[in-house]
Amino acid sequence: MFVKALNSIKVYVGSGGYLYEKHKMLTLIILLFFIVLAVWGVAFLFINKISLYPRSFVYLGVYLLLMGIVLVLVVRGKESFHEYGFRWPRSLMNCMVLSALLASVYVIITVFIPGSLRNFEVLPPNPFDVYTNITIIFVAVFAEEIIFRGYILRNLIKMHGFFTAILLGSAMYSLTYAIYRLPLALVLEMQGQLESALSFFMAGIFLGTLFYKTRTLMYCIVVHLFIRIFQFLTPLHAMINGYERLLFEIIAYATLTYLVLITVLTRKDGE
């Protein structure tokens, strides 16, 4: 009887400890989310008042600050960086090839198919813009994947399972862009900002699924880089309206998510 009672106490205390850790992690996720919004909100107040070249340094500073905050949270949590996706893929060559193929599918669906149905316009990028944007893209992609896939999504999966986590993580990823661009939306048309938010939500679904299947941030970072670099470097743009662009974005990310689900074997945490 005494042993049974003691075991019951251990189960109760153990479950209480689990609930405490779960609530603590959820609090950290929400806190990190609002920190991201607050930092971007403050930065946005300065970005509109300065020229393009200093503006790029503000972007870089924001992304580096946010990455630093996440790394501090990981260290204080006393967990392995491997658990947050800081690990090499099984094959770096396979990672590069698959990422290039996925990025190519995205480009075909969002640029070449709508362009062939409508028309193309050629807008060569400014050399200075290319240099600054590529620099920002590299830092931005690393920061976004570490924050939203490595830290937020990983912990949401641990607490709520994949399906709920992928929806919550993608919503947070999308809301980050929608909210920090809210002052811009008040100046420009709100429709474009809503379309962008939906596009980022679908991108979060795709990248989150890729992270869940591979258990490494490398795939997400590489394919994200390929897509973003192409968007800035390509002179070809499909002449379509915002609704059509959103439709092709949704089709593209849905297709990429399906391809990941059927082609990528789920990697175990210990591998």
Distance CA 227, CA 240 (A): 19
DSSP letters, 200-252, are: HHHHHHHHHHHHHHH--HHHHHHHHHHHHHHHHH--EEE---HHHHHHHHHHH
> What is the pTM assigned to this prediction?
0.84
- Is the pLDDT at 80 greater than 80? The verdict is yes
Please write the tens of the pLDDT for every residue from 120-156. 887 766 655 666 677 788 888 999 999 999 999 999 9
CA distances from 100 to 20, 92, 142, 184 (A): 42, 12, 17, 33
Helices 52-76 and 127-144: crossing angle in degrees, nearest 10, is 10
Please write the tens of the pLDDT for every residue from 216-252. 999 999 999 999 888 777 777 888 887 888 899 999 9
Handedness of CA 74, 79, 85, 91 (dihedral sign): positive
pLDDT at 180: 59
